[in-house]
Structure 1
């Protein structure tokens, strides 16, 4: 009897909760809508290559290396923002144009918003990965999301260059989305760093001063 109860509890622990299911449904709905409504299917496929890889990673690691529900929700929000950009290309994104008009900006800044969101939204999942998966000490966890964000952002800019100049010249400029800014790559990397810095600092302060926080978070 005790063994059966233990198995039931284990099965319940493995079952995704409501927030996780909601995040999945919202993301899949947004993702399908961007595919159906895209005006450049080749750019959509290029932009979503990393999305396919990210989803494959999350699915394969779900049983053995499960993130918290909060991390999955944050990842889902970021992916929704990213795939929405892929629907129109970042440089032609309607929300970016609305933001441009509202704030009297010189360019469409949707790409900058996504790079900032990359650092801001994924800092917590990255922190969790280092602490829970890799066993790094909590005291040093402030640094790792920032370091990882910088490394991944730099690698992404290299991938963008390769796509634009080497592999897919026809779709490359739409994918790159520099809009004439020669410092676009550096600014994007800085915004990702700044987002990760703010999120990591907030999480560390919250973890330090919240006595009810669980160990290792």
Structure 2
């Protein structure tokens, strides 16, 4: 009986891969660094609310909804991009200023980079969840991550408006990071959708995910 119980416990305990361990350690280092060196602690806290929710979801559902190491790597890269943006605010990000100089642009494009990453990096984890857990056929599941990313991007812009104009007005400008562009929300949504389309074409054409 004792042997049976010990075997059951061994099966139920989460088994963390080496890759996942190092990804977690790397993200934790980036996250802590973003907090220690932040130039706007209130904006950091607001930006990282969704980060915390995402991490709690991944941790609490690890045994039930377990992604591949590749998907965890993509998720880690996106979260690192996001928390690095929260360190300086998106509009004041140093890497964005470097891009601004290289592209001879009139604005800091770091926020555009992260929105593109939202679509490009999270396409495959969504595809994996739709085929693995929702049991959709691979051919039918190609389009669903695109629609999910487009919908989530639009919802995020609504959340940004609520945070900036209703709940935290003092942090509104730094949180939104629109930099004087009245079409910022629409462009952010569009570029996230573009990132998802590029990912879909890449995975279907080169990785052959539907085979």
TM-score (norm: length of structure 1): 0.89
Contact residue 14 and residue 62 of structure 2 kept, 8 A: no
Where in structure 2 are there 5+ consecutive unaligned residues?
Answer: none
Alpha-carbon distance in structure 2 between the residues aligned to 1:196 and 1:158 = 20
Alpha-carbon distance in structure 2 between the residues aligned to 1:138 and 1:124 = 12
How far residue 187 of structure 1 moved from its aligned partner, in angstroms, is 0.5
Alpha-carbon distance in structure 2 between the residues aligned to 1:173 and 1:14 = 42
Per the alignment, in what secondary structure is the counterpart of residue 48 of structure 1? helix
Alpha-carbon distance in structure 1 between the residues aligned to 2:15 and 2:165 = 45
Alpha-carbon distance in structure 2 between the residues aligned to 1:133 and 1:200 = 19
1:67 paired to 2:76: no
For residues 14 and 167 of structure 1, do their structure 2 counterparts lie closer, same or farther at Cα, with a shift above 3 Å needed? closer
Output the aligned Cα RMSD: 2.1
Deviations 1:31-62 (A, max 9, x none): 00000110111000000000000001101110
Residue in 2 aligned with 1:192?
Answer: 192
Alpha-carbon distance in structure 2 between the residues aligned to 1:202 and 1:60 = 31
How far residue 147 of structure 1 moved from its aligned partner, in angstroms, is 0.3
How far residue 192 of structure 1 moved from its aligned partner, in angstroms, is 0.4
Contact residue 142 and residue 201 of structure 1 kept, 8 A: no
Alpha-carbon distance in structure 1 between the residues aligned to 2:31 and 2:129 = 25
Contact residue 116 and residue 193 of structure 2 kept, 8 A: yes
Alpha-carbon distance in structure 1 between the residues aligned to 2:100 and 2:107 = 6
Residue in 2 aligned with 1:206?
Answer: 206
